[in-house]
């Protein structure tokens, strides 16, 4: 399979695509809707028959590449997505991200996704 990072060589391009895909979880195009939902369910490791009731994404929230805030089957989840092209996590980045997610919503289930 072709890697999107070979085509979109800037992190912001990849971030925009991921945000676009995830935000289309309830769009009219059923194939995009399905791809969006399956990606989200796989990110969270939850059953693919789960029901999403809300989802929003934010770019660069407290230096987190993408923050996803969603409600699935009545549970609130927040996901931090960090994409690394030519670097790795640095310093206290992971710990800072965890703290920022707790500040954002300390009751939500948290998930961290790093791609490098």
Report the b/e string of 39-54 with b at 16+ CB within 10 A: ebbebbebeeeeebee
The domain ranges of the chain are 4-115
Q: Sheet with 109-115: list strands edge to edge.
A: 52-61, 64-72, 75-83, 109-115
Q: Give the containing element (helix H, strand E) for 91.
A: none
Question: Residue 116 has what pLDDT?
Answer: 42
How far apart, in Å, are the Cα atoms of 11 and each of 20, 21, 104, 115? Answer: 14, 15, 23, 11
Question: Residue 102 has what pLDDT?
Answer: 75
Question: How confident is the prediction along the chain (116 residues), in pLDDT tens digits per residue?
Answer: 566 666 666 666 788 889 999 999 999 999 999 999 999 999 999 999 999 999 999 988 888 889 999 999 999 998 888 776 555 555 676 677 777 777 777 666 766 555 44
Structural domain 4-115, CATH architecture: 3-Layer(aba) Sandwich (3.40)
Question: Residue 5 has what pLDDT?
Answer: 62
3-state secondary structure of 85: coil
């Amino acid at each position: 399979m072709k890697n999107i990072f070979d085509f979109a060589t800037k992190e912001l391009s990849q971030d925009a695509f991921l945000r676009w895909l995830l935000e289309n979880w309830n769009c009219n195009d059923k194939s995009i809707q399905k791809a969006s939902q399956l990606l989200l369910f796989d990110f969270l490791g939850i059953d693919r028959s789960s029901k999403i009731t809300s989802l929003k994404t934010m770019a660069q929230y407290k230096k987190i590449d993408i923050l996803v805030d969603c409600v699935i089957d009545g549970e609130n989840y927040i996901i931090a997505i960090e994409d690394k092209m030519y670097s790795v996590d640095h310093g206290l980045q992971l710990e800072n991200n965890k703290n920022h997610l707790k500040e954002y919503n300390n009751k939500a289930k948290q998930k961290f996704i790093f791609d490098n």
